[in-house]
């Protein structure tokens, strides 16, 4: 698969839509950052939608504070927040000021795997980016990236690949969101079912988690 710098980032209007639609649309998309002379990242295989004040599980539910301000920023910008001494990354959705975003929960590692293996201190590809905080550690994302605009920043690429979209089309399923207490019954988590890099327990999958988007793309 060719380097992220040959790709064209998704336009801002892609993000300025209903958050659940963006969360679904981001599955299969490339997510990569240029760090120290090298692209690092992969293909998105798991997302969660966090809505505005209507969603009790969302960080924006109780309004804007200094720490969640980036969530109210322009669509297509990053909201990176600290939790349990780690970080998680989101892409802001809806018109600016709404306070909604898509949590990137897992990617299939593709670019800069050697670098991610060092950062995560493991050779096991399956333990590189299988969770929102794992992928932030693998991609060196932290509070310094909070508010960065991935639509225009030259060190970022988030893009759609027609071939990958065709592969995931029949595999997307929706489940409850992971690790939350409030609004826990809403089905706002989107996964590429059967992909081995999706987080959570085996019961979350309908198909056994053995597949890889790279392998499926190579077989065509």
Partner DNA sequence: CACGCGATTGCCT
Partner DNA sequence: GGCAATCGCGTGC
Q: Determine, following the binding rule CB under 7 A, whether residue 143 of this chain makes contact with DNA.
A: yes
Q: Determine, following the binding rule CB under 7 A, whether residue 57 of this chain makes contact with DNA.
A: yes
**177, 186, 189, 205: which one binds DNA (CB under 7 A):** 177
The answer to whether the CB of 27 falls within 8 A of the CB of 125 is no
What does the per-residue mask of binding to DNA show for 6-45, with x meaning CB under 7 A?
A: ----------------------------------------
How many residues interact with DNA (rule CB under 7 A)?
A: 39
The answer to whether the CB of 28 falls within 8 A of the CB of 164 is yes
Q: Determine, following the binding rule CB under 7 A, whether residue 67 of this chain makes contact with DNA.
A: yes
Q: Determine, following the binding rule CB under 7 A, whether residue 72 of this chain makes contact with DNA.
A: no
Q: Determine, following the binding rule CB under 7 A, whether residue 60 of this chain makes contact with DNA.
A: yes
Q: Determine, following the binding rule CB under 7 A, whether residue 50 of this chain makes contact with DNA.
A: yes
Tokens standing for residue 23: 């969360």
* Beta pairing, strands 38-50 & 189-192: antiparallel
Q: Which CB sits closer to DNA, 86 or 167?
A: 86
Least Å from the CB of residue 77 to DNA: 13
**11, 95, 166, 179: which one binds DNA (CB under 7 A):** 179
- List, in order, residues 6 or more apart from 198 with CB less than 8 Å away: 45, 46, 106, 130, 191, 192, 204, 205, 209
DSSP 165: H
Phi, psi of 46 (to 5 degrees): -155, 130
C-alpha distances out from residue 135 to 32, 38, 48, Å:
11, 16, 15
Residues of this chain that interact with DNA (CB under 7 A) are 48, 50, 57-60, 62, 65-68, 71, 79, 81-86, 88, 90, 101, 103, 120, 127, 131-135, 143, 177-181, 199, 201, 203
């Amino acid at each position: 698969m060719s380097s992220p710098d040959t790709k064209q980032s998704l336009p801002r209007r892609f993000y300025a839509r209903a958050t659940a639609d963006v969360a679904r649309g981001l599955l299969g998309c490339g997510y990569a950052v240029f760090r120290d002379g090298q692209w690092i990242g992969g293909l998105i295989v798991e997302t969660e939608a966090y809505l505005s004040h209507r969603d009790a599980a969302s960080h924006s539910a109780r309004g804007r504070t200094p720490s969640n301000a980036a969530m109210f920023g322009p669509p297509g910008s990053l909201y990176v927040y600290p939790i349990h001494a780690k970080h998680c990354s989101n892409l802001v959705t809806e018109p600016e000021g709404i306070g909604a975003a898509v949590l990137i929960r897992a990617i299939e590692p593709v670019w800069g795997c050697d670098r991610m293996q060092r950062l995560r201190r493991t050779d096991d590809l399956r333990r590189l980016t299988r969770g929102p905080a794992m992928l932030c550690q693998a991609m060196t994302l932290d509070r310094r990236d909070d508010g960065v605009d991935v639509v225009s920043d030259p060190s970022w690429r988030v893009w759609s690949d027609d071939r990958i979209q065709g592969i995931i089309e029949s595999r997307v399923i929706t489940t409850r969101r992971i690790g939350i207490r409030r609004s826990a019954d809403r089905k706002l988590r989107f996964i590429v079912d059967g992909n081995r890099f999706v987080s959570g327990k085996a019961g979350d999958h309908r198909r056994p988690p053995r597949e890889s988007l790279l392998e499926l793309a190579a077989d065509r």
